[in-house]
C-alpha cells in the first residue's frame, strides 16, 4: 500500500517546530509494510490544503494521513476542507460528544463542539490526552486518517487505534537487515558493493551515512528470501570486520562489552579530543566496571607533568607526533596500570595547521598489555567534526585491537 | 517571494531520520521574509522527484530548494533529474573539480567525479565539510538551489552562501531578535512572560526549547518598530542574567570569553560528566589559552589518588556529596593552581539511585580564587540527558560566577 503523510500547521511550515510527526508516522508505516511516497507540510491555508488533497485523489496512493488543524479555533479546518472535498457531510458524533463531556466535565466552550462533528461513516480515533478526536474514513478504495497535531496527543492515537486498524489492512512481506559499518568511507564502500548491486537486483542496499559511521540497510520482499540471504552473506563477507554491529549500537558500547569480556580496564590520555573519548565511554551504562580514570593533557606542560612526556620529545617532534603519543601512553600506563591505555594528540583547527602537519592530523597510540601501536590519520571537517571523527575512529581501532588480541 | 523546500532521501521518507533540514531552511527563509508554502519529502525515486519538480514549475512559487541526493552513489541523482527536467546540460565545473582535489588530495574514487558536474550557468555552493558541492541556478524567473543532505554539511553552505545570495534577492520587512535563555524552565518563563504577551500584541514571542536551554525569538513587522523595541527591553529586563546571549552562542563560548577577559585558567575534575565538561570547553577554538588540564576521576580510587579526597569522606558522605566535591575541588587546585576549578560528582543512572540520593542528583563545586561554592541539583532524563543538562547548568553557573566576581 502506498501512503501520503500530510502535516498541517504554520508552526511546522515556518520551521518553528521540527516535524517529528512525519517521522513518527513514516517509520510506523514502514514497519507495517506500507510505503510512504511523500511527506508534505503545508500551513494553515485553505487552498494549499485542498490542492494537496486533490493531488492525493488523482494519484495512485491509497492512504492519506493528516496531522494538525483539528483544534477549536478558526485556524483549524482540516476536517472541513477534507470532507467537503470528498463530498461527505459532517454531523454530531455521539461518541465524540461524550468523550468531550468526559474530558471537560459538563460545561465546555461552544467552540469545542465543532470538534465532535464527523462524517457519519467515520470510525472515531479517541484522543486520551486532548479534546480533538481523530477519525478514519474509507471512500472509493482509499483510506483517510485524520489526526491531531501535538505529538504527545497524536502518538498514543496512532499506537492505540491507527496501527491495529492498518495491521488488518496490510500484509507485511518485507525482509530487512541492518549493519553498522565503520572505518571505511562511503565512496570506498560503494566501489566495493558494485558487484552486489548487479548480482542481487531484487535486494535494495541503502546507505545512511552519519559522522564517522554508516548504517546500511538491506531490504527485499519475502518472495526473494533466498536472494536476500545470499546478499546479506555477501555483504558480511565483503565488509567483514568493518561491520561493528547488526543492531543500532554505538562503537563505545562494543568497546565496553569487549573490555568486560576480558575483565580489562581502559585509561585515556587525551589532548585534542579533550575528554570526548572518556565521555563516550562514560555514557555507556555500567562503564565503571571498565573505566576508572582519564587525563586531559591539553597543554604541553600538562603532557609533561602528568604523563611524563620528555621536554626534548616535545621540542624535537612536536606535541602532534608518533613520539609524543607513544610517551603519553607509556606515562598513562605508569600511572594507571590499565590493560588498555589510549593516548591521542592532534590538530583540531581551525588554526594551528602547517604544510607538514595540517589541520585534522591526529596521532594516537593504543597500548594493550605489552603491545603498542601508533596510528595517524587526517580527519576532515570543522573543529567539532574532526574531534568526533577522531574519537569514533580511535574507538573502532581499540575495538578491533581488543578483539584480535 | 514564495518558496518550496524539497527534501530528498529514503532515510527521511521512511522515518529513519528526522527532517531537521526542512526546519532549518524554513526558519532561515522566514527570517529573510521569504514564505515557504510547502515542505515536501520524497524518496530516492526518479519519477517522484521529477513529479515534484514539474509541480513546482507549474505553480506560482519562485524558489525551489532541494536537499539530498548529491552523493557519489547510484542512489544520488537530484542534479541529473532536476537539470534534465529544466533542459540544462551538465559539464565538468572546474571550481568544483578543484574543490574535490583539495578535499581528497590527488587521488579520488571515480564515482566522486560526478559530483563535479553542474550546468555551466550554475553558481557553485562550496561544501567545506564534504565532497558534494551544491549550486544555484536561475532560469525563467525562478531560482533553484541545490544542497546536500547531511545537516552538518548543509547548514554551513546555507549560512556561507545561500543566505547572502537570497538577501540580495529579497526585501525583508521583519524585525527579529533572538535570546538564548538558561537556568529557568520553559513553564516558569511562560508565566513570567504573560504580561508581555498582553502589553505587546503586535510582537510575536516564540520559544524554541532544547536540552538545557531555550531560544526565544521576538518578531514584528517594521511598521511596529517602537512596540518591538519596547518588548525587547521588557524581555531583557525580565529575564536579565538568564539571557546568556543574543546570538546563537553556546554557554562554553561565553565561559571561555570570560576566562580570557580575566586571563584566568580553568581546571576540571569530573566524575559523572566523564570528560564532557572538558570536551565542551575544548570545542571552543582558542581554548588552549584558558584550559590546560582536566581529570576524569570516575572511580572512588581515582578521586583519592589524584584529587586527594580522603577515604573517610568517601565512606561517611559518599562519592556524591557536598563534602566529596569540596575535597575534589581543593585537590584539583593543589595540582593545577588554576584560578577557576570545577569538580562534579553525580548519579547519571539508570542504576545507582537510592531514596535519599536519586538518579539525576549531581553535586558540583566551583572554586574561584579563594571562594568555593557547592551546588546540587536533580536533573531529569536518561543517562545522556542528565549528563548534558548537568554540564550546561554547571557552565551557566561558572559563567555567572566569573562575571559576578
Q: DSSP characters for A236-251?
A: HHHHGGGEEESSS--H
Poorest-confidence range of A184-188, A291-295, B343-347? A184-188
Higher model confidence: residue B107 or residue A123?
A123
Q: Given this model, what pLDDT does residue A311 score?
A: 97
Complex confidence, ipTM: 0.78
User: According to DSSP H, which parts of A146-292 are helical?
Assistant: 151-157, 163-169, 186-199, 225-239, 251-262, 276-282
Across the strands, what pairs with B346? B362
Q: How many domains in chain A?
A: 3
Maximum Cα–Cα distance for chain B, whole Å? 79
pLDDT band for A321, please (50, 70, 90 cuts). very high
Q: Given this model, what pLDDT does residue A380 score?
A: 86
Among B196, B226, B245, residue at a domain's last position: B245
Kindly state whether residues B147 and B6 are assigned to the same domain.
Answer: yes
Higher model confidence: residue A260 or residue B213?
A260
* Grid coordinates belonging to A254: 562494543
Kindly state whether residues B24 and B147 are assigned to the same domain.
Answer: yes
Q: Given this model, what pLDDT does residue A239 score?
A: 96
Judge if the upstream peptide bond of residue A356 is cis by omega within 30 degrees of 0: no
Whether A273 and B279 lie within 8 Å, measured CB to CB: yes
Q: Given this model, what pLDDT does residue A308 score?
A: 97
Q: Which residues of B touch A188 (CB under 8 A)?
A: 109
Rounded mean pLDDT, B189-213: 85
pLDDT band for A210, please (50, 70, 90 cuts). confident
- Nearest Cα to Cα of residue A400 among A324, A340, A319: A340
Cβ–Cβ under 8 Å, residues B271 and B327: no
Rounded mean pLDDT, A194-212: 87
Check whether B181 has a pLDDT greater than 90.
Answer: yes
Kindly state whether residues B222 and B154 are assigned to the same domain.
Answer: no
Q: Given this model, what pLDDT does residue B230 score?
A: 97
* Grid coordinates belonging to B317: 558522605
Q: Given this model, what pLDDT does residue B3 score?
A: 97
Q: Given this model, what pLDDT does residue A387 score?
A: 96
Q: Given this model, what pLDDT does residue B117 score?
A: 95
Rounded mean pLDDT, B61-80: 93
Q: Given this model, what pLDDT does residue A279 score?
A: 98
Q: Given this model, what pLDDT does residue B246 score?
A: 87
Q: Which residues of B touch A381 (CB under 8 A)?
A: 129, 152
Beta pairing, strands B291-297 & B361-368: unpaired
- Nearest Cα to Cα of residue B394 among B289, B254, B261, B262: B254
- For B114, residues 6+ apart whose C-beta sits below 8 A from its C-beta are B72
pLDDT band for B6, please (50, 70, 90 cuts). very high
Q: Given this model, what pLDDT does residue A106 score?
A: 67
Residue found by looking up cell 572512588 in the block? B300
How many beta-carbon pairs under 8 angstroms link A with B?
Answer: 254
Classify burial at A137, counting beta carbons within 10 Å of its beta carbon; exposed 0-12, middle 13-18, buried 19 or more. buried
Judge if the upstream peptide bond of residue B350 is cis by omega within 30 degrees of 0: yes
Kindly state whether residues B186 and B158 are assigned to the same domain.
Answer: no
Kindly state whether residues A30 and A123 are assigned to the same domain.
Answer: yes
Rg of chain A taking only CA atoms, in angstroms: 28
pLDDT digits (tens, 9 = 90+) for B344-387: 999 999 999 999 999 999 999 999 999 999 999 999 878 988 99
Q: How far is CA B369 from the centre of its chain?
A: 32
The CATH number given to whatever domain includes residue B63 is 3.40.980.10
Classify burial at A208, counting beta carbons within 10 Å of its beta carbon; exposed 0-12, middle 13-18, buried 19 or more. buried
Termini Cα distance of chain B: 50
Higher model confidence: residue B114 or residue A41?
A41
Q: Which residues of B touch A350 (CB under 8 A)?
A: 285
Across the strands, what pairs with A176? A219
Residue of A nearest to B350 (CA): A285
Portion of chain B with pLDDT greater than 70, in percent:
99
Poorest-confidence range of A160-164, A213-217, B203-207? B203-207
Check whether A364 has a pLDDT greater than 90.
Answer: yes
DSSP class of A28: H
A26 vs B15, B48, B152: nearest CB: B15
The CATH number given to whatever domain includes residue B191 is 3.30.70.2860
A207 vs B25, B73, B279: nearest CB: B73
Q: How far is CA A233 from the centre of its chain?
A: 25
Kindly state whether residues B196 and B94 are assigned to the same domain.
Answer: no
Residues of B (338-357) whose Cβ lies below 8 Å from A:
348-351
DSSP class of B112: G
Locate the DSSP E strands across A85-173. 90-92, 117-119, 123-125, 134-139, 142-147
Kindly state whether residues B317 and B265 are assigned to the same domain.
Answer: yes
Q: Given this model, what pLDDT does residue B106 score?
A: 67
Kindly state whether residues B203 and B267 are assigned to the same domain.
Answer: no
Check whether B396 has a pLDDT greater than 90.
Answer: yes
Among A149, A169, A189, residue at a domain's last position: A169
Cβ–Cβ under 8 Å, residues A205 and A193: yes
Query: How far apart are alpha carbons A66 and A84 in whole angstroms?
Result: 15
- For B309, residues 6+ apart whose C-beta sits below 8 A from its C-beta are B300, B303, B324, B327, B328, B331
Whether B274 and A294 lie within 8 Å, measured CB to CB: yes
Cβ–Cβ under 8 Å, residues A229 and A176: no
Across the strands, what pairs with A41? A7, B39
The CATH number given to whatever domain includes residue B375 is 3.90.950.20
Whether B293 and A282 lie within 8 Å, measured CB to CB: no
Portion of chain A with pLDDT greater than 70, in percent:
99
Rounded mean pLDDT, A289-307: 97
Rounded mean pLDDT, A238-262: 94
Per-residue buried b or exposed e for B214-250, using 16+ beta carbons within 10 Å of the residue's own CB: bebbbbbeeebeebbeebbebbeeebeebbbbeeeeb
Rounded mean pLDDT, B13-17: 88
Check whether B43 has a pLDDT greater than 70.
Answer: yes
Q: Given this model, what pLDDT does residue A211 score?
A: 82
Query: How far apart are alpha carbons A70 and A22 in whole angstroms?
Result: 17
Kindly state whether residues A240 and A261 are assigned to the same domain.
Answer: no
Kindly state whether residues A68 and A151 are assigned to the same domain.
Answer: yes
Check whether A65 has a pLDDT greater than 70.
Answer: yes
Cβ–Cβ under 8 Å, residues B134 and B125: yes
Check whether A208 has a pLDDT greater than 80.
Answer: no
Cβ–Cβ under 8 Å, residues B281 and B355: no
* Grid coordinates belonging to A125: 480515533
pLDDT band for B291, please (50, 70, 90 cuts). very high
Whether A36 and B15 lie within 8 Å, measured CB to CB: yes
Check whether B210 has a pLDDT greater than 80.
Answer: no
Check whether B75 has a pLDDT greater than 80.
Answer: yes
Check whether A172 has a pLDDT greater than 80.
Answer: no
Check whether A361 has a pLDDT greater than 70.
Answer: yes
Check whether A73 has a pLDDT greater than 80.
Answer: no
Q: Given this model, what pLDDT does residue B82 score?
A: 97
B108 Cα to chain A: minimum distance (Å): 9
Rounded mean pLDDT, A396-400: 97
- Nearest Cα to Cα of residue B183 among B397, B374, B402: B397
Check whether A74 has a pLDDT greater than 80.
Answer: no
Q: Given this model, what pLDDT does residue B132 score?
A: 93
Among A245, A263, A280, residue at a domain's last position: A245
Rounded mean pLDDT, A12-36: 90
Query: How far apart are alpha carbons A191 and A262 in whole angstroms?
Result: 36
Kindly state whether residues A332 and A267 are assigned to the same domain.
Answer: yes
* Grid coordinates belonging to A39: 511527506
Q: Given this model, what pLDDT does residue B209 score?
A: 66
Whether B14 and A26 lie within 8 Å, measured CB to CB: yes
Owning domain of residue A311: 251-404
Kindly state whether residues B336 and B216 are assigned to the same domain.
Answer: no
Check whether A50 has a pLDDT greater than 70.
Answer: yes
Q: Given this model, what pLDDT does residue A246 score?
A: 87
Amino acid at each position: 500500500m502506498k501512503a501520503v503523510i500530510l502535516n498541517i500547521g504554520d508552526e511546522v511550515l515556518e520551521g518553528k517546530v521540527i516535524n517529528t510527526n512525519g517521522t513518527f508516522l513514516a517509520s510506523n508505516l514502514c514497519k507495517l509494510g506500507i510505503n510512504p511516497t511523500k511527506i508534505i507540510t503545508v500551513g494553515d491555508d485553505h487552498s494549499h490544503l485542498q490542492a494537496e488533497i486533490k493531488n492525493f485523489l488523482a494519484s495512485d496512493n491509497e492512504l492519506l494521513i493528516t496531522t494538525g488543524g483539528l483544534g477549536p479555533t478558526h485556524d483549524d479546518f482540516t476536517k472541513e476542507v477534507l470532507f467537503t472535498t470528498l463530498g461527505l457531510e459532517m454531523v454530531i458524533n455521539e461518541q465524540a460528544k461524550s468523550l468531550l463531556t468526559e474530558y471537560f466535565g459538563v460545561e465546555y466552550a461552544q467552540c469545542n463542539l465543532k470538534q465532535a462533528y464527523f462524517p457519519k461513516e467515520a470510525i472515531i480515533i479517541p484522543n486520551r490526552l486532548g479534546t480533538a478526536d481523530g477519525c478514519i474514513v474509507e471512500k472509493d478504495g482509499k483510506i483517510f486518517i485524520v489526526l491531531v497535531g501535538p505529538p504527545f496527543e497524536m502518538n498514543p492515537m496512532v499506537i492505540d487505534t491507527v496501527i491495529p486498524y492498518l495491521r488488518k489492512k496490510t500484509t507485511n512481506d518485507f525482509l530487512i537487515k541492518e549493519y553498522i559499518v565503520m572505518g571505511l568511507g562511503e565512496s570506498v564502500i560503494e566501489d566495493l558493493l558494485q558487484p552486489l548491486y548487479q548480482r542481487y537486483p531484487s535486494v535494495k542496499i541503502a546507505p545512511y551515512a552519519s559522522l564517522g559511521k554508516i548504517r546500511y540497510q538491506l531490504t527485499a520482499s519475502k518472495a526473494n528470501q533466498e536472494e536476500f540471504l545470499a546478499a546479506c552473506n555477501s555483504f558480511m563477507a565483503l565488509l567483514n570486520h568493518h561491520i561493528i554491529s547488526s543492531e543500532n549500537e554505538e562503537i563505545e558500547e562494543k568497546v565496553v562489552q569487549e573490555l568486560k569480556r576480558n575483565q580489562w580496564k581502559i585509561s585515556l590520555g587525551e589532548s585534542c579530543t579533550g575528554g570526548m573519548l572518556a565521555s563516550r565511554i562514560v555514557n555507556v551504562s555500567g562503564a565503571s566496571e571498565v573505566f576508572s580514570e582519564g587525563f586531559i593533557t591539553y597543554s604541553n606542560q600538562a603532557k609533561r607533568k602528568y604523563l611524563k612526556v620528555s621536554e626534548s620529545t616535545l621540542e624535537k617532534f612536536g606535541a602532534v607526533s608518533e613520539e609524543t603519543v607513544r610517551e603519553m601512553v607509556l606515562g598513562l600506563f605508569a600511572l594507571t596500570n590499565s590493560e588498555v591505555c589510549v593516548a591521542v594528540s592532534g590538530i583540531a583547527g581551525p588554526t594551528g595547521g602547517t604544510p607538514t602537519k595540517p589541520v585534522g592530523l591526529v596521532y594516537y597510540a593504543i597500548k594493550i598489555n605489552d603491545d603498542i601501536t601508533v596510528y595517524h590519520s587526517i580527519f576532515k571537517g570543522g573543529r567539532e567534526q574532526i574531534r568526533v571523527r577522531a574519537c569514533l575512529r580511535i574507538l573502532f581501532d581499540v575495538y578491533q585491537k581488543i578483539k584480535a588480541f
